[in-house]
Amino acid sequence: MKKQTKVIELLTATPVLTEVTVKGWVRTFRNNQFIALNDGSTINNIQCVVDFENTPEETLKRITTGAAVSLTGTLAESKGAGQKVEVQVSKIEILGDSDAEKYPMQPKKHSLEFLRENAHLRVRTNAFGAIMRVRSTLSFAVHQYFQERGFFYVNTPIITGSDAEGAGEMFKVTALPFDNTPRTEEGKINYKEDFFGKETNLTVSGQLEAETYAMALGQVYTFGPTFRAENSNTSRHLAEFWMIEPEVAFNELADNMDLAEDFIKYVIKYTVDKHEDDLKFLEQRLLDEEKNKPQAERSEMSLLEKLNFVLENNFKRVTYTEAIDILRNSKPNKNKKFQYLIEEWGADLQSEHERFLVEKHFKCPVILYDYPAKIKAFYMRLNDNTEPGKETVRAMDILFPGIGEIVGGSQREERHDVLVEKMKALGIDEEELWWYLDTRRFGTAVHSGFGLGFERLVLFVTGMTNIRDVIPFPRTPQNAEF
Amino acid sequence: MKKQTKVIELLTATPVLTEVTVKGWVRTFRNNQFIALNDGSTINNIQCVVDFENTPEETLKRITTGAAVSLTGTLAESKGAGQKVEVQVSKIEILGDSDAEKYPMQPKKHSLEFLRENAHLRVRTNAFGAIMRVRSTLSFAVHQYFQERGFFYVNTPIITGSDAEGAGEMFKVTALPFDNTPRTEEGKINYKEDFFGKETNLTVSGQLEAETYAMALGQVYTFGPTFRAENSNTSRHLAEFWMIEPEVAFNELADNMDLAEDFIKYVIKYTVDKHEDDLKFLEQRLLDEEKNKPQAERSEMSLLEKLNFVLENNFKRVTYTEAIDILRNSKPNKNKKFQYLIEEWGADLQSEHERFLVEKHFKCPVILYDYPAKIKAFYMRLNDNTEPGKETVRAMDILFPGIGEIVGGSQREERHDVLVEKMKALGIDEEELWWYLDTRRFGTAVHSGFGLGFERLVLFVTGMTNIRDVIPFPRTPQNAEF
């Protein structure tokens, strides 16, 4: 006999009256008779029926919400409604008690804020169990998508000595003490005495390193943690989050868009196919949550409708210039409802503009591309033949309803002279990026890539609205508990 | 027509004289006629034959090692020895030049040290291309193994406020300045003003957080970067490395050993099956390297023999107590050849002892278990019924030939009272680990897990001997370049 059988297996097994052992945690115990047992393998519980007349009172009392138990019995067809099979328990072993008075995860509705404060226990709830199973499968789908297509996974460094990318504020990594910090003769901090012999930070992106690998292995991707020391206390920002960054030699911007769209659809489809029960639960959760909102703020589609909509429709591809025209002539711009009014070409798009385009105008995921060079990073490929003063780069951002920017990418500037000129203009140290420039010195080629913020994808797929609820232990300003 | 075809596809295609385009980097150019082209998709190059009589001298000159080219031509049966197919080139486009005088990766043997200094280019060599492809596939095998078995991937935090695990020295993560650092009234650093409102470090292990997830989802694993601020300038240590940490509810120590052994065999087999050409190259590389060594220091088996040996043989399971007996009576102990002589039970095993057991005595991977409680971590399950003074814990280490410790794991102490007592004895702050103790307060159960240092596995599979050569951009004392 197997030491134990998983709930997910039992629920789909034919009840042939064999003896089984199931181990898990009590979700509820009704009428001194019906244990709803969960072991994390699925959102569904298995009903275990206790022969209460022949079970010591002492044992029955210990079957409380949260208790760990091992139950042995016969898998049989269920007489009750709501489940096909049940375990008719012949042996109960209490593995670990859970004091009903003290256990924080009672079978009732807890606020998301309370659950965040109990991030070590919230995964024992239906909602967070579902979210974290979905997150896990999305991660695997990412790897499978790339590996099946001949991409190689690259672990770019987390601690980095180069801070030239300029994607955001960085955390310092150091082994130097704050007291009696070693100093140079000029009185500056002497980083030569630090662990790495130089100033180091937590990475904001693995892109530049990934590019060096793409120029050798052809197609690569990263999937690792990245960091921002920005004091953004919003529902869309984390100080520590996971990012996926593919980089492909010989890909132009259009190939990059094709890759991103195909990739996103693949990982969503893969996950929808595997997590019907989890997603149905999350769909209902969202419906319940939105009941308290005014009609206008509720989602037009249910969660699964929204996911299927993304799978079935092409992302709308729009140039920045077209988007500016649409925005300039839009009602909220004319009625001065935008906080930042769009007046002329070159303006940076704010979240309100992106949301208007995606949620009101196009009502589908949008790929914006060919942005003004001035508002984008130094490594993006300058378009040929643009008007002076209206230079654009081969950048693309993918905007999702409810989420905003989920992907940022570009064709990279492959021309050594153009790249150096751009770096000079922006005051980026050529010497520090000698290795990056080497890729343009030796065998340079057109190449493109993008970054996808993994938690934003998990938000979209789970229908959650706060990014702190889709990563196990969120790191945000003033919070590094656990 | 496809925009381009990968070399790996061309090499296995039937030469039906269709037109193909291949893009990649020139490895060598012989007799003004034969380009060996590589695109990273495989270690093998495709031979591309140039019609030099009808190609401008100017173009031929630019076909240098490292140059990026796009070649269009007919895929035909090769007349030469050494390859089945070749591309008879009709169109050459030079995408990016590579100045033969300056390009560091010339087609000759470079020292590993030189290649480390050029970590951004070394992946363009046969050896490092092979290593990094193998590394990528090993990573995927890790995910596939666990996902196929119903484990969930958990991203435990990288920045952590808890430093209680005590696995090693930690790097500080901070946004505070070294100058005018905020102070409390008592003159101490005021971490309340730091980004997270507390002192934070880079994680040394995700185990404790993973345990909280195992007690809800049943079977989980982490696979992420971990850090040690230890000044170990050895061929086996990195300051930043990737670790895999599965954690399983209801697993006892023997289950944990079964899981670890099955897991390691699976990922090695998966990789051997996919990377025959890369591994044959690395096998030859190792043979060449060892030619310069005295016979006694050479490997007894070739790389693939060694990998197959691991796949085909059971790991030898030995208690610490048995190992001490073997060591005490061993020749090097009696002849005082060990640096640290084994005199009595309770001694910590050094690398020399582990190597003796694995490489000389058992000549196969060894699982050592049931270690003295005193030399192991606080969270390990105390064995019942041991002699006073000879308490042991349900720990296990897996030792590999040539690598040493590759896995460290244990059954975890699930009893709240025993755990608290152990923490008190070791001076570990209960309040800081309130959340960890909660898992023993509410529904505790037997559970086990282990940590596997991913780079040590890559070392073993690739036959490399310095851990800096199996991670793209190694971080070690005084080195955080790139």
A176-191 tens-digit pLDDT: 999 999 999 999 999 9
Residues B321-331 as b/e (b if ≥16 CB within 10 A, e otherwise) read eebbebbeebe
Percent of chain A with pLDDT over 90: 91
**Residue A253: its H or E element:** helix A253-274
Q: Are B264 and B450 in contact (CB under 8 A)?
A: no
In this prediction, residue B167 carries a pLDDT of: 61
Instruction: Nearest chain A residue to B117 by CA: give it.
Output: A435
Residue carrying the six token digits 């790991």: B315
What is d(CA A337, CA A427) in angstroms, rounded to the nearest whole number? 37
What is d(CA B375, CA B397) in angstroms, rounded to the nearest whole number? 13
Does the ipTM exceed 0.90?
A: yes
Q: Which residues of B touch A155 (CB under 8 A)?
A: 135, 225, 242, 471-472
Angle at A264 between CA A263 and CA A265, to 5 degrees: 90
In this prediction, residue A114 carries a pLDDT of: 97
Could you say which of A43, A78, A96 is where a domain stops? A96
In this prediction, residue B163 carries a pLDDT of: 65
* Phi, psi for B415 (deg, rounded to 5): -90, 120
Long-range interactions of B111-116: CB distance < 8 A, separation 24+? B112/B466, B112/B469, B115/B469, B116/B468, B116/B469, B116/B474
DSSP state of A309: H
Assess whether pLDDT exceeds 90 at residue A478: yes
Asked if residue A214 and residue A74 are part of one domain, the reply reads no
Mean pLDDT score, A448-468? 97
For the entire predicted model, the pTM comes to 0.97
Mean pLDDT score, B231-245? 95
Q: Which residues of B touch A104 (CB under 8 A)?
A: 442
Q: In B, residues 240-269, which contact A (CB 8 Å cutoff)?
A: 240, 242, 249-250, 255
Chain A: give the shortest CA distance to residue B138, in Å: 10
Assess whether pLDDT exceeds 60 at residue A1: no
Mean pLDDT score, B380-402? 95
Asked if residue A275 and residue A146 are part of one domain, the reply reads yes
- Picking from B96, B162, B472, the nearest residue to A445 by CB comes out as B96
Q: In B, residues 9-48, which contact A (CB 8 Å cutoff)?
A: 23-26, 39-41
- Picking from A25, A120, A240, the nearest residue to B158 by CB comes out as A240
Report yes or no: A434 at the B interface, CB cutoff 8 Å.
no
Mean pLDDT score, B290-296? 90
Q: Which residues of A touch B179 (CB under 8 A)?
A: 189
Report yes or no: A147 at the B interface, CB cutoff 8 Å.
yes
- Picking from B66, B103, B152, the nearest residue to A133 by CB comes out as B152
* pLDDT band at B168; cut points 50, 70, 90: confident
Quick check: A189 and B178 CB within 8 A? Answer: yes
Strand arrangement of the beta sheet that strand B172-174 belongs to: A159-160, A200-202, A172-174, B172-174, B200-202, B159-160
Residue A223 β-bridge partners: A244
What is d(CA A299, CA A288) in angstroms, rounded to the nearest whole number? 12
Assess whether pLDDT exceeds 70 at residue A235: yes
Chain B: give the shortest CA distance to residue A371, in Å: 25
In this prediction, residue A3 carries a pLDDT of: 85
Asked if residue A138 and residue A91 are part of one domain, the reply reads no
Domain-located, residue B378: yes
Quick check: B171 and A195 CB within 8 A? Answer: yes
Q: Identify the CATH number of the domain in which residue B58 sits.
A: 2.40.50.140
Q: Which residues of B touch A249 (CB under 8 A)?
A: 23, 39-40
Residue B234 Cα to chain centre, angstroms? 15
Q: Per-residue pLDDT tens for B52-67?
A: 999 999 999 999 999 9
Asked if residue B208 and residue B315 are part of one domain, the reply reads yes
In this prediction, residue B83 carries a pLDDT of: 87
Asked if residue A163 and residue A87 are part of one domain, the reply reads no
Asked if residue B154 and residue B68 are part of one domain, the reply reads no
Mean pLDDT score, A48-63? 96
Report yes or no: A117 at the B interface, CB cutoff 8 Å.
no
Residue carrying the six token digits 């004319």: A334
Domain-located, residue A217: yes
Residue B346 Rama label (left phi>0; alpha psi -120 to 50; beta):
left
Long-range interactions of B136-140: CB distance < 8 A, separation 24+? B136/A147, B136/A152, B136/A153, B136/A154, B137/A147, B137/B270, B137/B271, B137/B274, B137/B275, B138/B267, B138/B271, B138/B454, B138/B457, B138/B458, B138/B461, B139/A143, B139/A153, B139/B223, B139/B454, B140/A143, B140/A144, B140/A147, B140/A153
Structural domains of chain A, count: 2
Domain-located, residue B121: no
DSSP state of A476: B
Report yes or no: B2 at the A interface, CB cutoff 8 Å.
no
- Picking from A173, A209, A477, the nearest residue to B472 by CB comes out as A209
Q: Per-residue pLDDT tens for A143-169?
A: 999 999 999 999 999 999 876 666 679
- Picking from A443, A473, A478, the nearest residue to B98 by CB comes out as A443
Looking at this protein, which amino acid is placed at residue B16?
A: V
Q: What is the mean pLDDT of chain B?
A: 95
Of the candidates A134, A350, A96, A446, the residue with the CA atom closest to the CA atom of residue B96: A446
* Phi, psi for A310 (deg, rounded to 5): -65, -40
* pLDDT band at B166; cut points 50, 70, 90: low
Report yes or no: A319 at the B interface, CB cutoff 8 Å.
no
Instruction: Nearest chain A residue to B98 by CA: give it.
Output: A442
In this prediction, residue A168 carries a pLDDT of: 72
Q: Identify the CATH number of the domain in which residue A215 sits.
A: 3.30.930.10
Structure tokens at B114: 């030189």
Domain-located, residue B327: yes
Asked if residue A142 and residue A90 are part of one domain, the reply reads no
Mean pLDDT score, B418-435? 94
Could you say which of A74, A96, A118 is where a domain stops? A96
Asked if residue B131 and residue B89 are part of one domain, the reply reads no
A290-304, B123-137, B355-369, range with the lowest pLDDT:
A290-304
Q: Which residues of B touch A197 (CB under 8 A)?
A: 477-480
Assess whether pLDDT exceeds 70 at residue A36: yes
Asked if residue A335 and residue A214 are part of one domain, the reply reads yes
In this prediction, residue B4 carries a pLDDT of: 93
Could you say which of B96, B114, B142 is where a domain stops? B96
Quick check: A66 and B442 CB within 8 A? Answer: yes
Q: Which residues of B touch A124 (CB under 8 A)?
A: 215-216
Q: Which residues of B touch A224 (CB under 8 A)?
A: 224-225
Q: Are B236 and B456 in contact (CB under 8 A)?
A: yes
In this prediction, residue B99 carries a pLDDT of: 96
Assess whether pLDDT exceeds 90 at residue B117: yes
* pLDDT band at A402; cut points 50, 70, 90: confident
- Picking from B133, B218, B479, the nearest residue to A41 by CB comes out as B218
Mutate which of B70, B132, B155 to disrupt the A interface (most A C-beta within 10 Å)? Answer: B155
Mean pLDDT score, B65-86? 93
Report yes or no: B140 at the A interface, CB cutoff 8 Å.
yes
B59-73, B167-181, B354-368, range with the lowest pLDDT:
B167-181
Mean pLDDT score, B356-374? 96
Domain-located, residue A405: yes
Quick check: A173 and B172 CB within 8 A? Answer: yes
Mutate which of B124, B136, B417 to disrupt the A interface (most A C-beta within 10 Å)? Answer: B136
Assess whether pLDDT exceeds 70 at residue A412: yes
Asked if residue A153 and residue A35 are part of one domain, the reply reads no
In this prediction, residue A163 carries a pLDDT of: 65
Is residue A374 classed as helix, strand or coil in its secondary structure? helix
Quick check: B480 and A200 CB within 8 A? Answer: yes
Task: Choose between B15 and B36: higher pLDDT.
Answer: B36
In this prediction, residue B143 carries a pLDDT of: 98
Mean pLDDT score, B407-414? 98
Q: Which residues of B touch A472 (CB under 8 A)?
A: 154-157, 209, 213
Asked if residue B423 and residue B344 are part of one domain, the reply reads yes
Domain-located, residue B101: no
Chain A: give the shortest CA distance to residue B62, in Å: 11
Q: Per-residue pLDDT tens for B444-470?
A: 999 999 999 999 999 999 999 999 999
Domain-located, residue B109: no
Domain-located, residue B296: yes
Q: In terms of C-beta density within 10 A (0-12 exposed, 13-18 middle, 19 or more buried), how is residue A78 classed?
A: middle
Residue A222: count of CB within 10 angstroms of its CB? 25
Q: Are B447 and B212 in contact (CB under 8 A)?
A: no
The crossing angle, in degrees rounded to 10, of helices B253-274 and B126-148 is 140
Asked if residue A438 and residue A300 are part of one domain, the reply reads yes
In this prediction, residue A167 carries a pLDDT of: 61
- Picking from A121, A152, A442, the nearest residue to B66 by CB comes out as A442
A304-313, B296-305, B326-335, range with the lowest pLDDT:
B296-305
Task: Note down the domain range covering B11.
Answer: 7-96
Q: Per-residue pLDDT tens for A68-121?
A: 999 999 999 998 888 899 999 999 999 999 999 999 998 888 999 999 999 999
